[in-house]
Chains A and B, each alone.
Chain A
Amino acid sequence: MSLPTLAPTAKRPGRDETPRPGRRPRRGARRSLVRSIPLLPAVVLLAIFLLGPVISSFYGSFTNASLSGSTAQNSNFVGLDNYSALFADPDFPKSVLLTLVFLIASAIVGQNVLGLGLALLMRTSNRLVRAIVGTFVVTAWVLPEIVAAFAAYAFFNDTGTLNAMLSAVGLEGPNWLYALPMLSVILANIWRGTAFSMLVYSAALQDVPTEITESAEVDGARGWQRLIFITVPMIRRSISTNLMLTTLQTLSVFTLIFVMTGGGPGTDSSTLPVLAYQEAFQFGQLGFGTAIATIMLLVGAAFSIAYIRALKPEVD
């Protein structure tokens, strides 16, 4: 690294020596420049590998690039053709709908409600039970995604554990991955991701003073009343943060769906990440896939901005 050059110039830095604009601007600017040199590797890495793809995603979505054939080498600018083709293609609106269903059912409702429920129940359960629940829920989350996807695939398979259990009690289960692909991947994603919400809410609930809920109990508030009128308002900051984060994480779920159903049957479980992959790599429509990627980036960016504004983290 080229950092030694910095050694002789680094003056005694102090925390609050903010160079005032107007007074000695040249020295202040130079010092600022020297001090920001360590940021350089990060800036270079982020510019090439994060900003680069974002920019090329926007640009590529306006070209007819493909993986093979004549347009692979020299692609042409085609304007909004990819986007108009995208909205004309019945698969795209369907995929948007599937993504929304997946987001709402598995992240916003499933993971958050189950995570909060588990965190609440764990407060009134005994230690051993708490440890058992924590271990299994967190293991599903810590496992590498491909392994979790296989375990979920085996569980929901026609000859898998779920149907074996159903037949043990005399029921004949459907072929989940074909008959109910969305339900299967939604349940699998709840299984996979609830640990995160559980950990966030457990931490948040620890900060709720017990005096308040206890005094409400003395005043005759029932359990659900205490939950809705006292506990939930007190942890609303964690709830909004967690809703945003789980939404963003679920928006980029690919492996779970890809391994379990491959987006199928047909495109019945192709959420946007899976559809972008299929269009670009299976059908060779790079521009098409890039347009989907661009739309997802915009959606993700909108969510991130909303999240950052809501959280107003202490950036200083």
Chain B
Amino acid sequence: MGMTSPSGRAMKTASNGVLLLVALAFALPLIWLLLASVDTRASLSIKLPDTFSLQNYIDVLTPETAFVPLLNSTFLAGGCAVITVIVAVLAAYPLSRYRMRVNKPFLYGVLFGSCLPITAMMVPVYALFVAFNLIDSLVGTMLFLAATSLPIAIYMTKNFMDSVPVSLEEAAWMDGASMLTTLTRIVIPLMRPGLAVVFIFVFIGAWGNFFVPFVLLLSPDKLPAAVSIFSFFGQYGTVAYGQLAAFSLLYSLPVITLYVFVSRVLGGSSAMAGAIKG
């Protein structure tokens, strides 16, 4: 770009200034989280702690406050991501490799499903879970989370699979390999990075989901961190902002790490947005 002209340089300075202002506005709520988490007398507004202290982290790192909820989150999100990836790979294979009459309606249905506002469904989903006696069931909640992330996962997986050349499989078919063998021995190893993206994408979504477990789970010992943070806020939130911030950051750390991993290691900073873009 021709940025050597004087007007170009002035514009560059102006856009740098505007961008830094926007960045500051976006950063303020996040800086509060960081500062409050190391301040034992944190308030709701940004202030430098009188003394830097990790006491908040020590206070929340107990089994009932952090470990059990984080374990539940891991179980829910991990299980959901495993189920989703397996089911999506199975579904994507015939969609990617054969021309069948069901392909088009199925993919349109999947695309349609990925657009539905899931929040709108939580009331009927609750009613359905009551009818099936699945309320307060971690596995039921996990399956629901898997079903809601499945449409987009199938779509992403099919796109990744389409870019795996079919010639290698043809050689395997010649040798009499079955569909399942070709899939597990040839296709899956070739699309490992793509599957990692799908897995992490689904995991981040399930890990961060608040509304679904909030409605479907009841017992305190089954609640994932998203919901237990909310009840922590209800019980002690008005006094212990520092602990709330510390717990929130501990809970956010895995998804931030995974996001950085996807965008830096697996390539493409907009991998997630690009995946949704289709």
Residues of chain A whose beta carbon lies under 8 Å from any beta carbon of chain B:
3-4, 6-8, 10, 12-18, 32, 35-36, 38-39, 41-42, 45-46, 48-50, 52-54, 56-57, 60, 65, 114, 118, 121-126, 129-130, 132-134, 136-140, 142-148, 150-152, 154-155, 157, 159-161, 163-164, 191, 194, 196, 199-200, 202-203, 210, 214, 217, 223, 238, 241, 245, 248, 251-255, 259, 272-273, 276-277, 280-281, 286, 289-290, 292-294, 296-297, 299-301, 303-305, 307-308, 311, 313, 315-316
A-B contact pairs, 5 of them (CB 8 A): A124-B11, A152-B29, A157-B44, A200-B277, A251-B119
Residue of A155, A202, A272, A290 near B124 (CB, 8 A) is A290
A207, B256: Cα distance in complex, Å? 28
Within 8 A of A (CB), among B248-271: 248-249, 251-252, 255-256, 259, 269-270
Contact status B98-A35, CB under 8 Å: yes
Contact status B94-A35, CB under 8 Å: yes
Contact status A53-B121, CB under 8 Å: yes
Contact status B102-A57, CB under 8 Å: no
A41, B87: Cα distance in complex, Å? 6
If A16-B99, A200-B270, A203-B274 are given as contacts, then 10 extra A-B residue pairs at C-beta distance below 8 Å, sorted by A number, are A12-B174, A13-B98, A39-B90, A41-B90, A124-B12, A164-B47, A191-B26, A199-B274, A203-B273, A281-B215
B193 at the interface (CB under 8 A from A): no
Contact status A126-B2, CB under 8 Å: no
Contact status B90-A155, CB under 8 Å: no
Contact status B119-A136, CB under 8 Å: no
Chain A's closest residue to B27 (CB) is A136
Contact status B1-A133, CB under 8 Å: no
Chain A residues within an 8 Å CB radius of B60:
none
Distance in angstroms from B155 CB to nearest chain A CB is: 9
Contact status A46-B113, CB under 8 Å: yes
A125, B9: Cα distance in complex, Å? 10
Most chain A beta carbons < 10 A, residue from B93, B117, B207: B117
Distance in angstroms from A271 CB to nearest chain B CB is: 10
- Using known A-B contacts A53-B128, A254-B211, determine if residue A300 contacts B26 with beta carbons closer than 8 Å: no
Within 8 A of A (CB), among B70-122: 83, 86-88, 90-91, 93-95, 97-104, 106-113, 115-122
Contact status A297-B120, CB under 8 Å: yes
- B38-50 interface code vs A (CB 8 A; 1 in, 0 out): 0000011111000
- Using known A-B contacts A121-B19, A277-B122, determine if residue A46 contacts B46 with beta carbons closer than 8 Å: no
Q: Is the interface of B mostly helix, strand, loop or mixed?
A: helix
A9, B27: Cα distance in complex, Å? 59
Contact status A38-B22, CB under 8 Å: no
Contact status B19-A133, CB under 8 Å: yes
B194 at the interface (CB under 8 A from A): no
- Using known A-B contacts A6-B178, A65-B127, determine if residue A45 contacts B244 with beta carbons closer than 8 Å: no
